[in-house]
Structure 1
Amino acid sequence: MQLFSTFEHTTYIELAIATLEKKGIKKEHIFVVPLDNRKEEHKVFDTINRSDGTSLIDIGAALSTAFAVIGASIGFKLAWGPIYWGLIGAAVGFLVGFAIRLFTEIILKKKRRQLKGYHSEVIVIVDCEEEKAEIVENILFKHYAIGVAKVK
């Protein structure tokens, strides 16, 4: 029987392996694989096939509406009239909102991702007899395994 478990990259992995060896699991039956971190940057613009659920035009739409109302109101006193100034206000509001959202996605969220420090997880595969499977599972969970799966 094989047990697959995932861990965060901490010293608890070493403690779990040492405990498994004390319970009679040989080193040859324990396999540890660290996962690689993502090398490429996250994409800001979505494609047809992939979307991250973040909208870049939400603030632009709100500011477009607000600036259009202000532009149309002021446009009654200006030479081009309220329709042109409402459209100009809408365009300016949309561009300002889009720029704000783009700035937050590229600059601020990138810093947040770096500060949060996403670390790769580690997969531990243990090959053991069915009788020891429950003991191995308990040891892995006691040493803060994120998840454990059994395969016969």
Structure 2
Amino acid sequence: MHVVATFDHSNFLELAITDLKQNGIEKDSICAIPVKKITPEIQLLDSIHGADGQSMFDVASILGTIFMLFGVLWGFLWKWGPIIWGLIGLGLGFAVGFAIKYFIYFRKTKTAITKGRQAEVVLIIKCEKEEILIIEKVLKRHFALAIGTKQ
């Protein structure tokens, strides 16, 4: 039988291993594997293979339309005329909207990735069927994040 548990990298892990040894589990039957945290690459635009459900162009389109409207309205008074100033307003509004969404998106995804507890060490214990209850009790007492058994 195998018992698998996940722990934060803390003194509770060391205490759990020591407690397991004191309860008769041999040192060769305990395996602790540190796990590296992987931060996923944040992609700016969606691709055909994956999408995160965030639209980067909604605010950009709205602000581009508003700035274009003002460019056309005021373009009648300015030198280059309403068409050129409308296009300049469209480009400027789109860029401002895209920049706003970009900073909001990356701030939100950065905090979402780093937020929450994640297991850092996986503890695998090889034992007999009769020892499972003792091992689970020891692991729970030392604040294991998750416990699983496999025959």
Q: TM class by shorter-chain length?
A: 0.7 to 0.9
Distance change (3 Å), C-alpha of 1:105 and 1:90: same
- Counterpart for residue 97 of structure 1: 97
Distance 1:53 1:140, change over 3 A: farther
Cα shift at 1:47: 2.9
Q: CA separation of 1:145/1:61 partners in 2, compared to 1, >3 Å: closer, same or farther?
A: farther
In the alignment, what sits opposite 1:60?
60
Q: Indicate the SS of the match to 1:69.
A: helix
Q: Contact (CA 8 Å) 1:59, 1:101: kept in 2 or not?
A: yes
Which residue type is aligned with residue 144 of structure 1?
F
- Tell me: CA distance 1:145–1:118, structure 2 relative to 1, closer, same or farther (3 Å): closer
Aligned residue runs from structure 1 range 26-45, under 5 A: 26-38=26-38, 42-45=41-44
Give matches, 1:43-54, under 5 Å. 43-45=42-44, 46-54=46-54
**What is the CA–CA distance in structure 1 between the aligned matches of 2:68 and 2:10, rounded to whole Å?**
54
Aligned to 1:80: 81
TM-score, normalised by the number of residues in structure 1: 0.75
Distance 2:65 2:24 in 1: 69
Question: 62-71 or 128-137: which moved more?
Answer: 62-71
What percent of counterpart residues are identical? 37
Q: 1 CA distance for matches of 2:103 and 2:92?
A: 16
1:143 aligns with 2:145: no
SS at 1:126's partner residue?
strand
1:124 aligns with 2:113: no
User: Structure 1 unaligned runs (5+)?
Assistant: none
Measure the CA separation in 2 of the matches of 1:23 and 1:76: 87
Question: Contact 1:13–1:143 (CA<8 Å) still a contact in 2?
Answer: yes
Are the counterparts in 1 of residues 7 and 119 from structure 2 also a CA contact under 8 Å? no
Output the CA distance in 1 between the equivalents of 2:86 and 2:143: 59
1:3 aligns with 2:3: yes
Q: 1:119 to 1:101 in 2, by over 3 A?
A: same
TM-score (ref. length: structure 2)? 0.75
3-state SS of the aligned residue for 1:18? helix
CA RMSD of aligned residues (A): 3.3
**Number of residues of Structure 1 aligned to a counterpart in Structure 2:** 149
